[in-house]
Amino acid sequence: MDKAVVDSRPTDSISTNDGLTYTGRRRRPSQSEAEAAVRTLIEWAGDDPDREGLVGTPERVVRAYEEFFAGYNEDLVALLSTTFEETADYDEMIVLRDIRLESHCEHHMVPILGKAHIGYLPAGRVIGISKLARLLDAFAKRLQIQEKLTSQIADTLQEVLKPRGVGVVIEAAHQCMTTRGVHKPGVTMVTSHMLGAFREDPTTRREFLSMIGKPRSASFDA
């Protein structure tokens, strides 16, 4: 299994008795350092971080960041390796569609919101559907670009579960496009990553796209 794909956490992070975590040469900032950074951004926005409504904001933002970016702490190997069920008699396509996607773009650190559809053709074993959703979150709750997120999910599922094929389609709106920059609301970006039978067999790909509600003529190349 390619550890770089499955688990992108640094392998050499250590916690020391000063309460700080060191990641290679990069030290993880303490909570108070992170809160100070939020204070600076509030001042940069033009407001007074000491006024009543904002006093607790740095702490709340830092806690929100722990949620937004919880994917860095998810151990994907543990998440996926113990959850197989042997089902030699079921070999039809399994699709989980319209899974809520919440991520953050790595260029502007603003939300990417949308839906993910994950399908695979089992080869003797299946994985619990809640694990598929957690697999999505493990990669979504990081700083991301949609293309990389799509292929990370597909590649990990292929490597760990070893099915006959995997298809992942993500449709999402990027707030860096809707609330800033070009200001184009209503635009959805669609990405897909197809592996194995989903890539090689047009019938399998069509079946997947029709199960997730896409037009049969839609072209989704990996």
Q: Which is nearer to Zn ion, 34 or 176 (CB)?
A: 176
Closest separation in Å from C-beta 174 to Zn ion: 6
Looking at beta carbons only, is 63 or 107 nearer to Zn ion? 107
Question: Can 107 be counted among the known catalytic residues?
Answer: yes
| Helix intervals (H) in the chain | 3-6, 31-45, 57-68, 76-81, 129-140, 146-161, 175-178, 197-200, 202-211
106 is catalytic: yes
- Minimum Å gap between C-beta 105 and Zn ion is 3
Q: Please, which residue, 7 or 171, has the CB nearer to Zn ion?
A: 171
In the complex with Zn ion, the residue whose CB is nearer, 133 or 190, is 190
Distances (CA, A) of 63 to 35, 69, 109, 163, 199: 10, 10, 15, 38, 41
Active site residue 176: yes
Kind and range of the H or E run holding 115: strand 111-121
- Selected catalytic residue, list 174, 175, 193, 207: 174
Q: Which of the residues 144, 146, 158, 175 is marked catalytic?
A: 146
At 193, give phi and psi (nearest 5°): -140, 120
Binding site for Zn ion (CB under 5 A): 105, 107-108, 176
State in angstroms the smallest separation of the CB of 68 from Zn ion: 14
| Residue 105 a catalytic site member | yes
Reply yes or no on whether 108 is catalytic.
yes
Q: Which residues are catalytic?
A: 105-108, 146, 174, 176
